[in-house]
Amino acid sequence: MEGPEIGFLASLLATVAFLLLAAVAGRRRRIRVHVSFVACAVLGLGTAVYFALKTGELYALDSAGAITPIHLPLARVTTLFYLWPLITGPLAWKRRSSPRIHRAGAWTVLALTLAATGTGIAMLLSAERLV
C-alpha cells in the first residue's frame, strides 16, 4: 500500500465511523454532538474523494470488469445524496421540514455510503495495479 491508498482507506473508514456516530447521536437527540459528527463525516468524505482520485491513478480501473461502471456512478450519486440530510437537518431543526424526511435522507446516505464502499473495495481488488 502506498500513501494515497492508506489515506483513502483511513478517510473512508473515518467517514463511515463518523456517520454511524452521527446516527447514534441524532437518535439520542444530542444535536450538538450530532452536528459535530456530521461535520467530521463531511470532511472525511472530502478527504476520501481526494485520496480515491489519487488511488485510482495507481490502478487500471477498466481491468476490474463490470464493477467499475457500477461503482463510479454510485460513488457520484452517493456524494450528491449527502446534500439531502445536510439541507433537511437545519430545516427540521427550525421546524420547516419533517424530521422524518431528514432521517430518511440520513439513512439513505449511510446505506449508499456502505454500498459505494463495498463496490469500491471490489473494484480495487479486481483491478490491475499499474505501479
Partners of 129 in the β-ladder? 59
pLDDT in tens, the chain (131 residues): 789 999 999 999 999 999 999 999 999 999 999 999 999 999 999 999 999 999 999 999 999 999 999 999 999 999 999 999 999 999 999 999 999 999 999 999 999 999 999 999 999 999 999 97
Rounded CA gap, 64 and 48, in Å? 20
Rounded CA gap, 90 and 95, in Å? 9
Beta carbons of 45 and 87 less than 8 angstroms apart: no
The structure's pTM equals 0.86
Instruction: Give pLDDT, residue 131.
Output: 74
* Pick from 109, 92, 102: nearest CA to 45: 109
Q: Which residue stretches of the chain are H helix?
A: 3-27, 31-56, 68-81, 83-93, 99-126
Rounded CA gap, 9 and 54, in Å? 12
